[in-house]
């Protein structure tokens, strides 16, 4: 049934696009959209890993762009949510594609991965609802309402696009934010895990480790007028969390500072391959650290903006490629064991939610349901759109494939796989490649092959 639905959407979406103004030819243009995506009180946050929403510290948003006239419309959307996976990811892409008059394979959807924020997986919700646990992972009615709001915003936006004549590229080093999460011992195994906050002086004192210190920025311009700023930086985006206080955390605050400085520019921020990167070396979890981290990130955003070099761009300089992949499931996932947890009312809701998410992913793997990895080329820049909580080594490898070009990566696309480590990381142990990963070490070869093809 799901494949039939995807086929129907693929057939209908181009027709919907033809009902409005022609969008597949003409000068390059961009439409911007933004809606509130703040969950109501009582909503589950971070897939039931955090306390439910009690108050809103700062609102969450869903925001994005639609690129027009470079073939069928291209949609890129990012949310201040923890993650959208499996059936949730399918539903979002289908809905956004229909609103823009395009096909789902030309939609990139990402989350920044704040933890005091909701998630979305309609497949897992179906399993949980059948067992009296509807809404225990996220608020499904709120999620569907947000999808409808984004659809409305897209339809309104594409009716009044802005011409794009130039693309601007810039980058800067982020100081004292990111650090490696997994600290290895002399035996090559994970000895310490440096979470988003860390109070242990020994663990804090460990070296930064392997990170990507650069924040990259792509801007779109109409002549001398800047229209859009998109920034990319790899790290878990949390300072403190889990108290029921909805927040876009320090990345949202940094983005807000840039909005205050450049109020006429549309700002989007993406989390890169930050699965094994946190702010733990520079963050002890005190509330004041949130503002310190936000200030450092905003400073790098400003420096990247100041370094921008502009290049003329036309519709012919924009391209989109999609590469379907199938990742191997983790050997730890056993359907009988997952069903036993899911069906046991004595198990905690948190464990049952986790079992539902694991089971959905395992079944999708067995049904050979592919995921799309995509690449947007904007003149001299390449943007890779990747799934899951990807390790930073994937980002560094992609940049090494085109060392003379400007390569950005947005991860936290389809959240279904969970953490995606490198092959060797699965031999090193640790939380990320143990209970938190739904894929096996063979994922590295699959993903690097797809990235290589996309960057060819």
DSSP string, 150-209: HHHHHHHHHTS-EE--EEEEEEEEPPS--EESEEE-TTSSEEEE--SS---HHHHHS---
What is the SS3 assignment for 118? coil
Which tens digits make up the pLDDT trace of 266-306? 999 999 999 999 999 999 999 999 999 999 999 999 999 99
Tokens representing 57 are: 């510290």
Give percent of the chain above pLDDT 90. 94
Write the CB contacts of 49 (distance below 8 Å, at least 6 apart in sequence): 115, 242, 350
Which pLDDT score, from 0 to 100, does residue 262 have?
98
Q: Tell me, what's the pLDDT at 8? A: 39
pLDDT band at residue 170 using 50, 70 and 90 as cut-offs: very high
Residue 19 has pLDDT above 90, yes or no: no
Q: Tens of pLDDT along 28-67? A: 999 999 999 999 999 999 999 999 999 999 999 999 999 9
For residue 21, what are the contacts with CB-CB under 8 A and spacing of at least 6?
159
Whether residue 17 is predicted with pLDDT greater than 90 in this model: the reply is no
Which residues, at least 6 apart from 152, have a Cβ–Cβ distance to it below 8 Å? 35, 99
What's the residue count for the chain?
Answer: 456
Can you give the residue ranges of every domain in the chain?
2-19+26-162+325-366, 164-316+377-454
Q: What is the pLDDT of residue 306?
A: 98
Residue pair 284/198 in contact (Cβ under 8 Å)? The answer is yes
pLDDT for res 15: 38
pLDDT band, very low/low/confident/very high, at 25 (cuts 50, 70, 90): low
Over 50: is that where the pLDDT of 22 sits? no
pTM for this model (two decimals)? 0.94
At 404-413, the pLDDT tens digits run 999 999 999 9
- What are the tens digits of pLDDT across the range 324-355? 999 999 999 999 999 999 999 999 999 999 99
Q: In this predicted structure, what is the pLDDT of residue 24? A: 56
Does pLDDT of 13 surpass 50? no
Q: Over range 160-176, report the average pLDDT.
A: 98
The predicted pLDDT at position 6 comes to: 40
Question: HSE of 25 in the Cβ direction (CA atoms, 13 Å)?
Answer: 1
pLDDT, position 5: 41
Q: In the prediction, which pLDDT does 81 show? A: 98
Q: What pLDDT, on a 0 to 100 scale, did the predictor assign at position 26?
A: 84
Q: Read out DSSP for 331-360? A: TT--HHHHHHHHT-TTS-HHHHHHHHHHHH
Residue 4: pLDDT over 80:
no
Q: How far is CA 237 from CA 145, 174, 319, in A?
A: 26, 13, 30
């Amino acid at each position: 049934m799901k494949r039939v639905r995807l086929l129907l959407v693929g057939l209908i979406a181009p027709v919907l696009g033809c009902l409005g103004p022609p969008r597949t030819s003409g000068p390059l243009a961009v439409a911007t959209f933004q809606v509130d995506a703040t969950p109501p009180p009582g909503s589950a946050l971070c897939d039931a890993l955090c306390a439910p929403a009690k108050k809103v510290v700062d609102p969450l948003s869903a925001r994005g762009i639609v690129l027009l006239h470079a073939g069928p419309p291209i949609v890129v959307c990012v949310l201040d949510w923890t993650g959208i996976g499996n059936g949730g990811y399918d539903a979002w892409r289908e809905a956004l594609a229909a609103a823009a008059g395009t096909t789902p394979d030309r939609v990139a959807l990402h989350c920044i991965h704040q933890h005091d924020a909701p998630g979305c997986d309609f497949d897992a919700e179906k399993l949980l609802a059948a067992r009296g646990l509807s809404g225990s992972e996220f608020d499904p009615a709120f999620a569907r309402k947000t999808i409808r709001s984004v659809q409305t915003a897209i339809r309104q936006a594409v009716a009044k696009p802005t011409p794009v004549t130039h693309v601007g590229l810039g980058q800067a080093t982020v100081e004292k934010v990111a650090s490696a999460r997994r600290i290895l011992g002399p035996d090559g195994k994970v000895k310490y895990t440096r979470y988003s906050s860390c109070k242990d002086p020994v663990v804090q004192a460990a070296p930064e480790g392997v990170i990507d210190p650069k924040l990259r920025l792509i801007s779109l311009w109409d002549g001398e007028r800047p229209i859009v700023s998109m920034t990319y930086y790899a790290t878990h985006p949390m300072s403190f969390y889990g108290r029921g206080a909805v927040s876009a955390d320090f990345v949202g605050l940094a983005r807000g500072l840039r909005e205050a400085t450049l109020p006429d520019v549309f700002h989007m921020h993406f989390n890169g391959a930050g699965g094994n990167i946190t702010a733990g070396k520079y963050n002890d979890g005190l509330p004041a650290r949130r503002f310190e981290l936000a200030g450092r990130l905003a400073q790098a955003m400003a420096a990247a903006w100041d370094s921008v070099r502009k290049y003329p761009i036309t519709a012919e300089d924009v391209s989109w490629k999609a590469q379907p992949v199938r990742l191997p499931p983790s050997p730890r996932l056993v359907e009988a064991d997952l069903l036993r947890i899911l069906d046991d009312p004595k198990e905690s809701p948190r464990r049952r939610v986790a079992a539902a998410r694991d089971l959905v992913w395992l079944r999708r793997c067995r049904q050979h349901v592919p995921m799309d990895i995509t690449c947007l080329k904007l003149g001299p820049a390449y943007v890779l759109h990747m799934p899951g909580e990807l390790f930073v080594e994937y980002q560094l490898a992609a940049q090494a494939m085109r060392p003379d070009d400007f390569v950005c990566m947005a991860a936290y696309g389809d959240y279904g796989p969970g953490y995606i480590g490198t092959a060797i990381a699965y031999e090193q142990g640790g939380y990320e490649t143990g209970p938190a990963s739904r894929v096996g070490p063979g994922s590295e070869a699959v993903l690097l092959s797809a990235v290589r093809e996309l960057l060819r």
